[in-house]
Amino acid sequence: MKQVKTTISLQGALLEESDSIAKELHIPRSRVFSFAMEEFIRRYRNKKLLTQINDAYATPPNSDENENFEIMRSRQKRLAESGDEWK
């Protein structure tokens, strides 16, 4: 992926801690920030996805969906009782 330079402002303590971690891991400081941003983006996307999933489950099924659920349950029950393998 293409590397792009940027300038950011940080609190001095955060920069010092980042430098310490970079030195300890024997990697450039910019890589520490890249790791941090990758992790932040991953967590942000996961949280956003979880919110979308929770929103989807917060809405109760409508009558058509309930009817389809009943049909599926009935078919599953017949298959389970007949002993036939899933096809």
pLDDT at res. 23: 98
Q: Report if residue 45 sits inside a domain.
A: yes
Q: Is residue 22 part of a domain?
A: yes
- The answer to the question of residue 62 being in a domain is yes
Q: Rounded mean pLDDT of 4-32?
A: 96
pTM of the model: 0.65
Total structural domains within the chain:
1
Classify residue 67: in a domain, yes or no: yes
Look at residue 46 and tell me if it is in a domain: yes
**Which stretches does DSSP call E strand in the chain?**
none
CB atoms within 10 A of CB 32: 19
The per-residue pLDDT for range 24-83, each reduced to its tens digit, is 999 999 999 999 999 999 999 999 999 999 998 898 888 888 899 999 999 888 888 887
Q: Give the long-range contacts of residues 2-11, CB within 8 A, separation 24 or more.
A: 8/33
